[in-house]
Amino acid sequence: MTDHRKGRRNRAVPQGRLSRLGQFGRLAGGVAGGMLAEGARRLAEGDRPTVRDMMLTPANAGRMADRLSHLRGAAMKLGQMISLDAGDMLPPELTEIMARLRDNAHRMPPQQLERVLAKQWGPDWRKRFARFGATPIAAASIGQVHRAKTPDGRDLAIKVQYPGVRESIDADVDNVATLLRISNLLPPELDIAPLLAEAKKQLNEEADYVREGRYLTLFGELLADAPEYLIPVLDEEFTTDQVLAMQYIEGRAIETLVDAPQEVRDRAMHLLFKLVMREIFEFGVIQSDPNFANYRYQPDSGKLVLLDFGAARPIDPEIAQGYKRLMLAALAGDRDRVREEAAAAGFVSAVAIARHRDRVDAMIDVIIDKLNRPGAFDFGDRSFVEPLRDQGMGVAADRAAWHIPPTDLLFVQRKISGMALLAARLKARLDIRTLVDEYFADH
């Protein structure tokens, strides 16, 4: 979640199909007006601007980020997912727009918050607390978090779902997708249909706070043997399907580690990658949303605070085993085996391999080379991204080679990619070979 106590505005969450559709209409109109103005300016200067040039102006980027953050819900979440899932593979202009949605949430006005909580807890709900912070301490795409204290001394973080979010999920996702397509923002090679389907499914699951509470408790039990991770305890008294109450745990945003000593950054990412290994290969369940706001850090204890289990889901054991074989093949430097395992797992289609073998092998070679260099893997070195993107886009340009991986694979890869992006942000260095070898030696 995004801490937004500084300089954020109160903005009511639009409710109802027509109200939210109107917001999309105003966004489209504002962007179109901005495009006309930019086009006229460039023509006056003797340029011949493309639609893309007119669309990707700072003003239009601001319009899109602001309007989607106002809508919250699926509208905002889809932007966050695109920026995290595609990572370095998107055009930098689109990445910037979507990344702004990770820290641009608005809060509900007090009157709207009051109505939501009265509906969930009854009109006299304030009498059940010794203190309830009116100003949220964090906000995200489908809810905002308040800190509260009960008469018996429990210090709680209470996530309140925005009204109308659950009912608007499918329509919002479709509207955002249409907006992105007609705006010519997405490269034609990028097929976002699988992402849209997963966005709808995940958002519907995340909107069920009783479900999230169960996974919160489950992960607390699974990690009971690992004190380096802290997970809030569910408070069942105040939890409903649209309000999630849990123990409040102090922690700083994980991104603040960017200024920490190298060994501190490396240790934090080691813990996070080790957690991913346990989720995939030991627990059989993964918290699949790698949003950086879901991880916090305690400088004094060195412990990681894990938050937000709405996107948790079980993993098919076959997917986990396929991942294991693929990782071991890559660390063994066996290109042919990597190609075979990638196809067997569902990463790449047989058509893509048959029609673009050289490109696929070139991508495999880049990955093998990076993973098998002596010493720690430097996530801050992004020199390998451009060759991967160039070869990947070359394959994606062939529609016959398009392929939708298994759903479980998409979720697992999303988590791993998100962790890699966080490691890149922190410029962490990690001995991946040792981490993998040690883990599989014990399991």
Q: Are strands 377-378 and 429-430 parallel, antiparallel or unpaired?
A: antiparallel
Question: Which residues contact residue 45 at a Cβ distance below 8 angstroms, ignoring those fewer than 6 apart?
Answer: none
Distance CA 22, CA 175 (A): 11
Judged by phi (left if over 0) then psi (alpha if -120 to 50, else beta), residue 347 lies in alpha
Which of 399-404's residues contact partners 24+ apart within 8 Å by CB, and which partners?
Answer: 400/351, 400/355, 401/349, 401/351, 401/352, 401/355, 401/356, 402/191, 402/349, 403/346, 403/348, 403/349, 403/351, 403/352, 404/191, 404/193, 404/194
- 127-131-137 Cα angle (round to 5): 130
Q: Are 160 and 243 in contact (CB under 8 A)?
A: yes
**Alpha-carbon dihedral angle through residues 182, 187, 190, 194, given to the nearest 10 degrees:** -30
Judged by phi (left if over 0) then psi (alpha if -120 to 50, else beta), residue 105 lies in beta
Of 353, 350, 373, nearest in space to 361 by CA: 353
Distance CA 239, CA 49 (A): 53
Of 55, 56, 75, 54, nearest in space to 178 by CA: 75
Catalytic residues: 289
Distance CA 195, CA 172 (A): 14
Per DSSP, what are the bridge partners of residue 234? Answer: 246
Q: Are 268 and 297 in contact (CB under 8 A)?
A: yes
User: Which tokens in the block code for residue 34?
Assistant: 């901005």
Q: Are 63 and 30 in contact (CB under 8 A)?
A: yes
Tell me 94's DSSP state: H
Question: Which residues contact residue 402 at a Cβ distance below 8 angstroms, ignoring those fewer than 6 apart?
Answer: 191, 349, 396
User: Which tokens in the block code for residue 262?
Assistant: 């190298």
Q: What is the SS3 assignment for 234? A: strand
